[in-house]
Amino acid sequence: MTARRHVATTARLATVLLAVLAPWRLDAQSLSPRDSALHALNRLAFGPRPGEVDRVAGLGVMRWIDQQLEPERVPDDRLAERERAFKLLDLGREELALRYGDALRERREMQRNMAASGDTARRPGAGPMREFRQLGGELQQLAVVRAALSERQLREVMVDFWTNHFNVFVGKGADRFLTPSYIEQTIRPHALGRFEDLLIATAQSPAMLFYLDNAQSIAPGSVPPMRGRRPDRMPQGINENYARELLELHTLGVDGGYTQQDVIAVARILTGWGIERPQQGAGFTFRDWAHDRGEKTVLGVRFPGGHGMDEGVRLLKLLANQHATMHHVSRKLCARLVADEPPDGCVDAAVDAWHRTNGDIRAVLRAIVAAPDFWAPQVLHAKVKTPFEFVVSAVRATGAEPDDTPRLAQVVARLGQPLYLQPAPTGYPETQAQWVNSGALLGRMNVAVALAAGRLPGVTTNLDAVVPLTADRSQLTDLVNGRVLSGTMTAHTRDVIRRQLADVNDPMQARALAVGLAIGGPEFQRQ
């Protein structure tokens, strides 16, 4: 830890020195148009598709970024067409709650029958259980399909970032049916909006209220209107889980200067923020009877009692606009978009923009890409892809098409990143140490080889359109470098691939081998 911090400090120092001493400007202009296009497509998109680097370079990388920042003006018909196959998108939270109830009933029925017959073999269930499981598969696959196919790539990157920042776990009870509307109605509409709106939306989302137990948090001694509830099932007192993660993870950050007293006060302010019963639609509700009516103080700011739900809204606005929040979230954004240990320059630029615009996420992103740090030579190809980024970028690089089954999402899961299934509220880490280990790398090589051979489940490949068959091995290697690796192939990799191809006579086999080695090789693990 100390060593890492030391390295980070040294790197930061070097960046500062370089910026001071260098007479040239370390920004997009100092890179070739192709290099800057590739870098932007790696970080602000899920990697280039064949030919896309040239297209973005031709358009001008800054113009492409401007377009991406206004996704509503980027046509996305092909994705819209594909989304129609996902039944999940036609079902509201109420409908999903009902279907989940049906699935639970079927499961209980089955357990009763099993117990009665002494038969212990597990069965998948035929009706509602199976249907509900299919919807869960759709939820995961939809994330893969959107990331791979959307023309609004930066928006998809930000959806992924915020979904992870405001993590919920789809495996926890009611979150099985609350997560789809969380993604569609809470995260996606706000991904490029204002941070404050996004924060309030997550705080009022049933998925988050359930995941971090705020729905169970009630003022001590408060008594619910009894509707035949069993007293031993009633929640007892305040629950600090959401309050703590709200401060530590969602806003101020662990070093954000709050105390345990602040955590308790935040939990008291948010008492009463709960969820309707599933039969009533499982929406957000404020339960006045559960709210703590006393006065509270958070970060030295007084919250007089008796203001009900408004106290919470005021609190969230206060938190959204703290300098510590701006710094914490900006640093996380830069860790995703720039470098695992982001240079101070881009973080400061993001915080400035946040101050200036009251947390307009587009303005913050503009500031990050306008910062010289974003284009600095030492950050190019410096980040290792997460399993999700690896699979999606491989699909894109080979011009492949994911299908409607959950199988490609299962590939991502097997590589270590099951979607919506991170139990810890931290979300998945952004740093390479988490993702790079021997088993995971072998897994990636297997995915690459299968994809190149057209054997990867859940995806249709059409390599003819990307790397036409050729008997000339030099030409084949050049094509793979140019079309699949966007010109990043090292001389060493080229040598190894050429040697491997030497005695492969079948051009189909040769192409599959070359593409498999390229996607599974070290260059493609980085972005």
Partner 1 sequence: MSISRRVFVKSGGLALVSLGLDPLFLARAAFASHRPLPPLTASDRPVLVCLFQRGAVDGLNMIVPHGEPLYYRERPRIAIPAKDVVDLDGHFGLHPSLAPLKPLWDNKSLAAIHAVGSPDATRSHFDAQDYMESGTPGVKSTSDGWLNRYCRHDREHVDTPFRAVAFGPQLPRILAGTAPTLAIDDLQAFGLRVPQEAARDRLTRAFEELYEGAATGLLASSSQEGFDAIQMLKRVNPGQYQPANGAAYPPGRFGRALLQIAQLIKANLGLEIAFADVGGWDTHVNQGSSEGQLAARLRELGLGLAAFAQDLGERMRSVVVLTMSEFGRTIRENGNSGTDHGHATAMLALGGPVNGGRVLGRWPGLDPASRFEGRDVAVTTDFRDLFAEVLARHLGAAALAPVFPGYTPDPARFPGAITG
Q: Which residues bind partner 1 (CB under 8 A)?
A: 108, 111-112, 114-116, 118, 120, 122, 169, 171-173, 212-213, 232, 241, 244-245, 248-249, 254, 384, 413-414, 416, 418, 423-426, 429, 432-434, 436-442, 445-446, 449-450, 490, 492-493, 495-496, 500, 513, 517, 520-523, 525-526
**Residue closer to partner 1 (CB basis): 98 or 514:** 514
CB of 360 to partner 1, least distance (A): 28
Q: In one letter, which amino acid is 282?
A: A
**Residue closer to partner 1 (CB basis): 153 or 217:** 217
**Helices and strands (H and E) in the chain: how many:** 25, 6
Q: Looking at residue 306, what DSSP letter applies?
A: S
Are 96 and 191 in contact by the 8 Å Cβ rule? The answer is: no
**Residue closer to partner 1 (CB basis): 28 or 419:** 419
CB of 88 to partner 1, least distance (A): 22
**Residue closer to partner 1 (CB basis): 124 or 300:** 124
Angle at 129 between CA 128 and CA 132, to 5 degrees: 80
**Residue closer to partner 1 (CB basis): 145 or 415:** 415
Q: How far apart are CA 486 and CA 440, in angstroms?
A: 24
Q: How many residues does the chain have?
A: 527
CB of 220 to partner 1, least distance (A): 15
List the beta strands (DSSP E) in 173-310: 273-275, 284-286, 296-298, 301-303
Q: Which of 191, 154, 157 is nearest to 61 (CA)?
A: 154
CB of 77 to partner 1, least distance (A): 36
CB of 270 to partner 1, least distance (A): 16
Are 184 and 159 in contact by the 8 Å Cβ rule? The answer is: no
Distances from the Cα of 140 to the Cαs of 295, 396, 424, 512, in angstroms? Answer: 43, 18, 18, 28
Helix axes 361-370, 61-68, angle to 10 degrees: 170
**Residue closer to partner 1 (CB basis): 34 or 526:** 526
| 301-303/296-298 β-pairing | antiparallel
**Residue closer to partner 1 (CB basis): 246 or 353:** 246
CB of 442 to partner 1, least distance (A): 5
Q: How far apart are CA 144 and CA 224, in angstroms?
A: 43
**Residue closer to partner 1 (CB basis): 111 or 460:** 111
Q: Which of 137, 92, 143, 31 is nearest to 281 (CA)?
A: 92
**Residue closer to partner 1 (CB basis): 194 or 526:** 526
Distances from the Cα of 385 to the Cαs of 22, 43, 143, 322, 526, in angstroms? Answer: 30, 10, 17, 31, 6
Q: How far apart are CA 234 and CA 60, in angstroms?
A: 60
Judging by beta carbons within 10 Å of its beta carbon (0-12, 13-18, 19+), is residue 188 exposed, middle or buried?
A: middle
**Residue closer to partner 1 (CB basis): 285 or 410:** 410
**Residue closer to partner 1 (CB basis): 150 or 179:** 179
CB of 518 to partner 1, least distance (A): 9
CB of 438 to partner 1, least distance (A): 3
CB of 80 to partner 1, least distance (A): 33
**Residue closer to partner 1 (CB basis): 220 or 294:** 220
Are 388 and 413 in contact by the 8 Å Cβ rule? The answer is: no
| 459-460/401-402 β-pairing | antiparallel
CB of 94 to partner 1, least distance (A): 24
Structure tokens at 320: 């959204």
- List for the chain the helix, strand, coil content (%; round to 5): 60, 5, 35
CB of 526 to partner 1, least distance (A): 8
CB of 255 to partner 1, least distance (A): 13
Which are the contacts of 190, defined by CB distance < 8 A and separation ≥ 6?
162, 197, 198, 201
Are 268 and 215 in contact by the 8 Å Cβ rule? The answer is: no
Q: How far apart are CA 487 and CA 491, in angstroms?
A: 11
Which are the contacts of 140, defined by CB distance < 8 A and separation ≥ 6?
406, 409, 410, 412, 413, 418, 419, 420
